[in-house]
Amino acid sequence: MEWMYHILGYAVPFVVVLSVLVFVHELGHYLVARWCGVKIETFSIGFGREIIGFTDKAGTRWKFSLIPLGGYVQMYGDTDPTSTNTDLATLNHMDEKERNVAFFFKPVWQRALIVFAGPAINFLYAILVLTALFSIEGQPYTPALVGGLAKEGVAIESGFKLKDKVVSVNGQEIERFQQLQRLVTVNLGR
């Protein structure tokens, strides 16, 4: 039963966090592609067979797929979701209306912007999430707790015990382990 704890405790949160990051990344590609007039055929979180999905008014298929270790945005005219094998015959037979909404016929600067948008939005997302976390929780720190004692050391002679919390040193208030570490380093041998 321990393996079930590991799956629920580690694998499930990993997949959820990864799926959120993939969604944000692919959303960057999607939004900029739509802004540039590219038709999006599929927005997928995961690979393989579709588990659940829907088609929106613009004709984009939004779906969750079986293997949740990535995702993709398939743009019009791209016959391969990985964009590695473009079918040139399909591209050559497109009429003017189809070429206007196909990724491959957009100017280079628009294609570059679409490709860049995924990593860029992940970068901005990280800044927003960390800013929100630090605003709510404050900066994380390690409290000044005694985690280990050297045999026959000064700490034992002074009466320290494991898990004691150091609240002050020579009248100076201590909240973080880093403060205690700095004071000990400056006052070695005392």
Which residue numbers are catalytic? 26
* 140 close to 55: Cβ distance less than 8 angstroms: no
Alpha-helix residue ranges (DSSP H) falling in 104-160: 108-137, 154-157
CA-CA distance, 73 to 56, in Å (whole number)?
Answer: 14
* Cα angle, residue 185 at apex, residues 179 and 190 outer, rounded to 5°: 110
48 in Cβ contact with 41 (< 8 Å): no
Instruction: Give me the residue label for tokens 């570490």.
Output: 181
